[in-house]
Amino acid sequence: MEYAAPTTVDEARTLLADNPGSRVFAGATDVVPQMRSGRPEPSVLIDLKRIDRLMSIAHNNGHWTIGAAMPTSELTSNGEFSSVFPGISEGAGWIGSDQIQNRSSLGGNLCNGSPAADSVPAMIASEARAVIAGTDGERTIPVADVVTGPGQLSLADGEFVVEFEIDDPPANTGDAYIRMTPRTEMDIAIVGAAVRVTMDGDTCTDARVVLGAVAPTAVRVPDAEAALIGSSLDEAALAEVAAAASAAANPINDKRGTIEYRVQVAGVLAKRAAVLAAERARA
Amino acid sequence: MSRTHITCTVNGEDTDFLANPGTSLLDALRDELGLTGAKEGCGTGDCGACSVLMDGKVTCACLVFAPEAQGRDLMTVEGLSSADGVDGDHLHPLQQTFLEGAALQCGVCTPGFLVAAKALLDHNPDPTESEIRYALAGNLCRCTGYDKIIRSVQEAAVQLRSAT
Amino acid sequence: MATVHLMTQHRPLAGGAAVVEADGATVGQIIDDLDRRFPGLGDALRAGSSAGIDGEIHAEPEFVRVQPDTVVYFVAPLTGG
Amino acid sequence: MTAIENPKTYKWVGTRPIRHDGYDKVVGKARFAADLNLPGQLHAAYLRSPHAHANIVSIDTSMAEAMPGVKAVVTGDDFPALDITDPNHDVSINVLARGTVLYHGHAIAAVAATTKAEAQAAAAAIEVEYELLPVVLGIDEAMADGAPLANEQNYQKFVGPSDPSNIATHTPLERGDADAAMAAADIVIEREFDCAHVHQGYIEPHACVVDTGADGKANVWASSQGHFMVRAITAAVLGWETSRIKVTPAEIGGGFGGKTTVYLEPVAARLSEKAGRPVKLVMSREEVLRSSGPAPGAKLRIKIGATSDGELTAIDGWMAYQVGAYGDFAGMVGAMSVASYKFPNLKLESWGVLSNTPKTAAYRAPSAPHAAFAIESVIDDIASELGMDPIELRLKNAAVEGDLTAMGMPHPRIGLVECLEALKASDHYQSEPAEGASRGVAVGFWFNIGEQSSATVNLNEDGTATVITGSPDIGGSRASMALMAAEELGIDVYSITPVVADTEAVGFTDVTEGSRATFATGKAVVEACRELKVELCRRAAQTMGVDEAEVEWVDGAAVSPSHGGEPLTLAAITAQAKRTGGPLTATASLNAAGAGPSFAVHCADLKVDEETGQTTIVRYTAVQDAGTAIHPSYVEGQMQGGSVQGIGWALNEEYIFSSDGVLMNPGFLDYRIPVASDLPMIETIIVEVPNPSHPYGVRGVGETGIVPPMATIGNAIKAATGVRMTSLPMSPPKVLKALGDAR
C-alpha cells in the first residue's frame, strides 16, 4: 500500500485514475476500522486533506461551499453557518467524539454510504448538491443521489466528491436533526430525522422531512412534508407527520435496533425535529 | 515495501522517523519513537486511549496514517508537562489535579484523558460539567465511573484560569 | 463432637441429614469420621468445599483445627473478580 | 464519610495521599505489557475459528511457515494433552483448540513473525478443514432432553467425567419449608428474568512479552491480576516445571475479574522457544470481545412470599447461568449469593449451563449481580404492593450478625443495616427527585475472599521503607499498602515505596480477586511491619543500653522511660543497622481467613422518555460498607467504578450473537460501555463497620458495587413508568416494547 497526498484536485484525479484499487480518504475514521476488520487494503491511499479546496468553507453568491474533506469540527464551530443551518451543523456534530470530529468530514460521512450517516438527512433536507470530480471534469448532482444503497454510491470509478453547495435558505426557515442512540455520544443512529421548514407566521409554507437509518439510504418523506405544509404544526398535523414517517420507514433488524422500534421512533423523531425546526424558523 | 521518511514536530522537538504508509501514527509513536504514553485500547477510534494533539487538535492516533504527520506539530502525553508555559520540571495542572483528585485507577486511559482535557481547556477555559462530559465522551474509562476525572478537569480549569 | 452443617447437595449422602455430629481435631479428621459413617461423603466434601468456622471461611480447610464445641459449615468454594 | 462505629482514629489510615504509582501514570511512563519491547522481538498473531462448533479435520501450516518474516508457528499439537480431570484442562484447550473448536473466535494456531502484519498475513494463510457440529446457544436449548453437547469433554462437576453433559454445575440450597411458607404467605410475587452476557470491558487488551531462552527458562512480562497464577497456568499448559518461568507483572490496564486467567502466555512462550527470540502477543479489541471471558448470561425465576406487614417469609429461586463452552463454577455462586435478608424458608437451585460461546471469566462479584437483579426487583414489587417504603421493607428483613446466608452459615458482623440507614439519612434520599424523575433503590452483597499473600518490608538506611508484595495493583492497592505500613511504622506515607515484585522476588501470592488485596495482602504487610517494630525496639535497646522490654515503639520512634524518654527515630536506627546486627527486613506470608462481607445500597433518580424508551440517570448515590476505608478516594473510586459498570450492564451492554454463534458487536462502538456524557456524578457514602478479622477492620470493596445497579435502575424505571423490566439490558428498544405491551 502506498500513500499519496496531492495538493490539487487535478493531481488527485490523476492519482485515482492511474492507480487501480486506489482510494481517496479524508479522516479515515471509517477506512481504518474497515481495514482492521479485514476489508482489502487499497493500492494507494489518497489523502485529500492537503487540497485547499477540499478543506475550506465559503459563502458566496447565495450559497455555501463546503470542502468535502474539511473536518466537521470546523463546520460546527463556524458560527455563521451553524446559525443558518443548525440542523446540518448538529448532524455533522453527532459524527463521533471530539477526536473524531477533528477528522470526520461531510464527504467521508456521505461516501461511506451508511444509511445511518448523521450529516446526510439534513443536507438532503436543504437540497445540498455534491460537486464531483472525475476523469472527464466535474459534475454537480443532488446529495440525495449520491448514495444508492448501503455502501453503494452512484459515483463512477475515478470520481470523488470535491465540495458541497448549499443554497441560502429563504427567510423564516429553520432546520433540525434529531437522532436516537442508546448512548448520548459515541454511537451510531438507530433512527435519525431531519426536518426543514419555512414558516409564514404560524403557518408552515415549505417543508422537507428526511429520515436516516430506517431504509437502505436516507429517505425523504413527502407525505410528512405535505402534512406540515399549510399547517401550524398543531397536534393533528404532527400526528400525521409521525404516522407518515413511520409508514415511510423500511428498516431492518440488526444489532442496533429492531424493525418495530425503528418504525415507531422514526415517527417520534420526525415530529420532534419538526417542532424544533419550526421554533428555529420563527426565531 | 519502502518505508516513508516523515519529518514533524513532536512535543516541541523536530523529529523524523520511518514508517510504512499503512502504519498508524499510534504505532509509529510507540514503536519508532518510543513514546508509549498513548495506548491502543481499540484501534478503531472508539476509546480515545491513543489521543494526541495534531496541530493543536485532539485526535485518535490510531486513525491517522503515519505519513499524514508530515510537517505536523504533534503533542503526546509525554509533552504535556512542558505545555502551556508550565516549567517542564513540573506537572501540568491537569496532571496534578488528576493525581490529587484520584482521577486514575489502572491508568491506561489516563494519557488520553489528559490530552483530550487539555484540548478542551485550550478552547474553552471555563466549561460546564456537561461540556466536559461531552468533550471527554470519546475517552472511555472503565475504572472510575468518570466522576473524579470530571472533578479534576473542573479543578484544573480553575487553576489555569487563575494562572492567566 | 463438633457440629457439622452440610450443603444441600451432600445431604443425600448423609441419609438426608442437614446437620450431623462428627469427631476430630481438624477439619480433615472430621471429614474422615463422616466418611466412615457415610461412605462417599468424604470424597464429596474434599472434591470442593470450603469450611466456615467462627465466622471465617477457610479455603482448603483440611488442617484447620477444631474444638469439640466448634460448628463447621461446609460451603462451596468461592472466588471473585 | 459516615463513620458509624469505627472509634479509632489513625494518623495515616483514612487519609488521601497521592498514589505512589500516580506520577508515572500521568506522564506516560507507566509500563503496561504492550509498552515493553525487547531486542530482536517478534510479533505474534492468531488464527481463530470462523465457526462456533466444529471438529478440526486438519491444519496445514506449511504455507504460513514459508511466508516472509515468519519465524515460528504453533498449534494445539505443540502442547501436552492434560487429563480431563486436571484443573487446568479447560484453560489448556481454550488457549489453543485441540481437535474441536468450541466457539467462534476460539484460537487454533499462532504465528510469530518479524512484524505484526507479517504474522497476521501468515496466520490467515493457515489452512484448516472443519467438520461442522451443532451449535448450542441458549440455556433452554442446552438443558433440553437430548440436546447436542456444546463440549463433549465437559462433565458435571461433582458428578464425574463418565457422563458428558451440558451442565457444568448444579447447586441446590434449602432450609425450612419454602413451599409451606409460600402457601401461608399473604403475598407472593413470582417473575422470570433474563440477562445477556456482558464483558468486563477493561480498556487495556490482554498483552504479554515472553522471552524463552536456550536454557529453557522463560521470562514473561504480563498484564494480569495475578502473576503467580500466570506462572502456574503457563507452566501447566506447557507441561513445564513452575521454576522454569519467571513472571514480571506489568502495570495492568483494568481487569475486573477478566484477567484472573491466562490466554496468551503459554502460546507466546512456545513461539519464543521455537523461534529463539522474544515474542510479543497482544490481543486486538475484537479478540478481547470475541475470545476473552465475558460474564455469564442468565435466566432466573424468583418467587418471594411475605406477610402483609412486610416480613419476607420464603424465597424459591431457579437460576441458570450460561457459562460458555467450558465447565465453570460461575453457576454455583448465584444461589449462594442470596444473603441480604433473613428468609426463614429458602429453596434455591442454580445451574451452570454450557453453550458454544466464549469461556466465561469472573467479573466483579461473579454471578451475584444477576441474582440481585432478579431478587431485588421482586422485593421492590412486594414493597410497592404492600405500600411500604422500599428501604423500610429492606430494613425490616435485613440480615445482621448471626443470620444465615443461603449457604447456611451465619453472617459475621456485617453492615447492611448501617448502609440502609445511611442512605435513608442521606441528602439524596431526603430530597425529592428532580422534576419528572423517579427513584429506585436496591441492595447488593458480596462475600469477599482471603487467600494467600506475602509481603516483604525492607527498611532502608535513610529511614524509608520499601513494601514489596505480589498483588498486582488494579485499583490503588499500592497506596493502601503504603498507608497501612506508614500507620504501623509511624513514618510518612511518602517515605514508603510500595512495589509489586516479580515471582522470584516475593513470596507466593494469589490473584488480586475477590476484593482481597487490601484485606489479605494488607494483613501480610501489617504483620511484617509489626515484626519489624519488635526488631526496631531490640536494636534501639542495644543502642540505648537498656532492656528490650523497656522499649516501646511510639509514633515512628523507639522510646524508653529508662533512657530519659528521648525517642530514637526509625531513621536513626536504620542508619546504625550495620552496627546493631545488619539490615532490617521482615517478611510475612499468610492464608487469610475472615474476609469481611461487604454490603452496598444504591439509589438512582432517572427519567424515561416514554416515546423512545431511553433512560437518563439524573442522580445516583452508592452507599457501601468498607469496614475501614484505608484510602477513601480509592474506596470511592471502587464504588463509583462498580456503579457505572452496573449502569452499563443495566442499560446498554450486551453480547449480541447471530443464530450461528457469531458475536455481532465485537467493538466499543456497538458494545456500549457508558461514556462520560451518559452519567451524572456518582455520589458516595462510605459506611465503616470494621471487619474484626483485619487489623484495621478492612473489608474488600472492589466488587459489591456492581451488584445493586441493575435492580436499582429497574426499580426506578418501574417507579417512572409502572412497568417492571425483567430483561437485561433495559435498552431503549426493550423499554419501549415493554411500555407498548403494558398499554
Res A163 pLDDT > 60:
yes
pLDDT tens-digit series, residues B17-64:
999 999 999 999 999 999 999 999 999 999 999 999 999 999 999 999
Peptide bond into D134 cis (omega under 30): no
**Would you state the pLDDT for residue D157?**
78
Closest approach of B8 to chain D, Cα-based (Å)? 20
Mark yes or no for CB contact D158/C44 under 8 Å: yes
Chosen domain end from B51, B78, B105: B78
CA distance B63 to A28: 6
Q: What percent of chain A has pLDDT over 70?
A: 100
> CATH: 3.10.20.30, 3.30.70.1430, 3.40.50.300, 3.40.50.720. Which one for C2-75?
3.10.20.30
Answer yes or no: do D606 and D633 share one domain. Answer: yes
Q: In chain C, where are the structural domains located?
A: 2-75
**C50-77 average pLDDT score:** 90
pLDDT tens-digit series, residues D141-188:
999 999 999 999 998 877 667 789 999 999 999 999 999 999 999 999
Mark yes or no for CB contact B47/D203 under 8 Å: yes
Res B108 pLDDT > 90:
yes
Domain count, chain B: 2
Query: Exposed/middle/buried for C81, CB within 10 Å: 0-12, 13-18, 19+?
Result: buried
Answer yes or no: do D681 and D699 share one domain. Answer: yes
Res D307 pLDDT > 90:
yes
CB of D682 within 8 Å of any CB in chain B? Answer: yes
Please, are residues D691 and D415 in contact by the beta-carbon 8 Å criterion?
Answer: no
Res D678 pLDDT > 90:
yes
List CB contacts (< 8 A) between B21 and chain A.
1-3, 45
**D201-227 average pLDDT score:** 97
Answer yes or no: do B156 and B100 share one domain. Answer: yes
Nearest CA in chain A to D667: A33
Chosen domain end from B23, B57, B78: B78
- CA D565-D571-D575 angle, 5° bins: 110
CB of A257 within 8 Å of any CB in chain D? Answer: yes
Give me the CATH number covering residue D608.
3.30.365.10
CB of C80 within 8 Å of any CB in chain D? Answer: yes
Interstrand relation of D345-354 and D312-324 (parallel, antiparallel or unpaired): parallel
* Domain spanning A2-167, CATH class: alpha beta
Structural domain contains residue D305: no
Which residues belong to CATH 3.30.465.10 in chain A?
2-167
Q: How far is CA A141 from the centre of its chain?
A: 14
Please, are residues D656 and A257 in contact by the beta-carbon 8 Å criterion?
Answer: no
Please, are residues D515 and D477 in contact by the beta-carbon 8 Å criterion?
Answer: no
Taking a contact as any Cβ pair under 8 Å apart, which residues of chain A between 12 and 71 contact chain D?
33, 36-37
Query: Exposed/middle/buried for B43, CB within 10 Å: 0-12, 13-18, 19+?
Result: buried
**Would you state the pLDDT for residue C76?**
84
Query: Exposed/middle/buried for D330, CB within 10 Å: 0-12, 13-18, 19+?
Result: buried
* Residue A70 DSSP one-character state: S
**Would you state the pLDDT for residue D562?**
86
Answer yes or no: do D586 and D690 share one domain. Answer: no
List CB contacts (< 8 A) between A71 and chain B.
57
| CA contacts within 13 A on the Cβ side of A109 | 33
pLDDT tens-digit series, residues D488-504:
999 999 999 999 999 99
Please, are residues A164 and A130 in contact by the beta-carbon 8 Å criterion?
Answer: yes
Please, are residues D358 and D103 in contact by the beta-carbon 8 Å criterion?
Answer: yes
For B147, residues 6+ apart whose C-beta sits below 8 A from its C-beta are D636, D640, D679, D681, D682
Taking a contact as any Cβ pair under 8 Å apart, which residues of chain A between 177 and 196 contact chain D?
180, 182-188, 190
Give me the CATH number covering residue B63.
3.10.20.30
Structural domain contains residue D270: no
> Smallest Cβ distance to B45: which of A35, A47, A100?
A100
Answer yes or no: do D554 and D679 share one domain. Answer: no
Chosen domain end from B61, B78, B95: B78
CA distance C66 to C34: 15
Taking a contact as any Cβ pair under 8 Å apart, which residues of chain D between 35 and 74 contact chain B?
35, 37
Res D3 pLDDT > 50:
no
Mark yes or no for CB contact D693/C56 under 8 Å: yes
CA distance D252 to D260: 12
Taking a contact as any Cβ pair under 8 Å apart, which residues of chain B between 27 and 66 contact chain A?
43-46, 48, 51, 54, 57-60, 62-65
For A10, residues 6+ apart whose C-beta sits below 8 A from its C-beta are none
| pTM for the whole structure | 0.97
Q: Return the top range by mean pLDDT from B84-88, C52-56, D543-547, D736-740.
A: D736-740
Three cell numbers, residue C36? 466412615
CB of C59 within 8 Å of any CB in chain D? Answer: yes
Q: What percent of chain D has pLDDT over 90?
A: 94
Phi-psi region of B146 (alpha: psi -120 to 50; beta: other; left: phi over 0): left
pLDDT tens-digit series, residues D386-416:
999 999 999 999 999 999 999 889 999 999 9
Which residues belong to CATH 3.30.390.50 in chain A?
173-282
Q: Over chain D, what is the mean pLDDT?
A: 96
pLDDT tens-digit series, residues D20-37:
999 999 999 999 999 999
Closest approach of D523 to chain B, Cα-based (Å)? 22
Answer yes or no: do D465 and D413 share one domain. Answer: no
Q: Over chain A, what is the mean pLDDT?
A: 97
pLDDT tens-digit series, residues D442-472:
999 999 999 999 999 999 999 999 999 999 9
3-class secondary structure, D678 = helix
Answer yes or no: do B87 and B151 share one domain. Answer: yes
pLDDT tens-digit series, residues A86-144:
999 999 999 999 999 999 999 999 999 999 999 999 999 999 999 999 998 999 999 99
**Would you state the pLDDT for residue A274?**
98
Please, are residues D657 and D720 in contact by the beta-carbon 8 Å criterion?
Answer: no
Please, are residues D232 and D242 in contact by the beta-carbon 8 Å criterion?
Answer: yes
Closest approach of D182 to chain A, Cα-based (Å)? 39
Answer yes or no: do B159 and B87 share one domain. Answer: yes
pLDDT band at C48 (very low <50, low <70, confident <90, very high): confident
Q: Which chains have at least 3 CB atom pairs separated by less than 8 Å from chain C? A: D
pLDDT tens-digit series, residues A240-266:
999 999 999 999 999 899 999 999 999
Res B85 pLDDT > 60:
no
pLDDT band at D213 (very low <50, low <70, confident <90, very high): very high
Domain count, chain D: 2
Nearest CA in chain A to D653: A182
Nearest to D128 by CA among D148, D107, D149: D107
Alpha helices per DSSP H over D476-621? 477-489, 522-544, 570-575, 577-580
CA distance D400 to D543: 52
CATH topology of domain A173-282: Enolase-like; domain 1 (3.30.390)
pLDDT band at D4 (very low <50, low <70, confident <90, very high): very low
Mark yes or no for CB contact A183/D652 under 8 Å: yes
**Would you state the pLDDT for residue D6?**
52
Chosen domain end from D566, D592, D618: D592
Hey, which residues does B54 pair with through a beta bridge?
A: B57, B74
**Residue D162: how many CB atoms within 10 A of its CB?**
6
Closest approach of A178 to chain B, Cα-based (Å)? 17
Mark yes or no for CB contact D702/C81 under 8 Å: yes
Distance in Å from the first CA to the final CA of chain D: 44
pLDDT band at C20 (very low <50, low <70, confident <90, very high): very high
**Would you state the pLDDT for residue D7?**
55
Q: How far is CA A86 from the centre of its chain?
A: 13
CA distance D412 to D595: 10
| CA contacts within 13 A on the Cβ side of A189 | 31
- Give the domain range for residue B132: 80-163
Res B87 pLDDT > 80:
no
Q: Select the more confidently predicted residue: D705 or D331.
A: D705
Answer yes or no: do D534 and D642 share one domain. Answer: no
CB of A32 within 8 Å of any CB in chain B? Answer: yes
**Residue D402: how many CB atoms within 10 A of its CB?**
11
- Give the domain range for residue D481: 22-30+450-592
- Tally the residues of chain B: 164
Mark yes or no for CB contact B57/A96 under 8 Å: no
Helix axes D477-489, D522-544, angle to 10 degrees: 30
CB of B119 within 8 Å of any CB in chain A? Answer: yes
Res D2 pLDDT > 90:
no
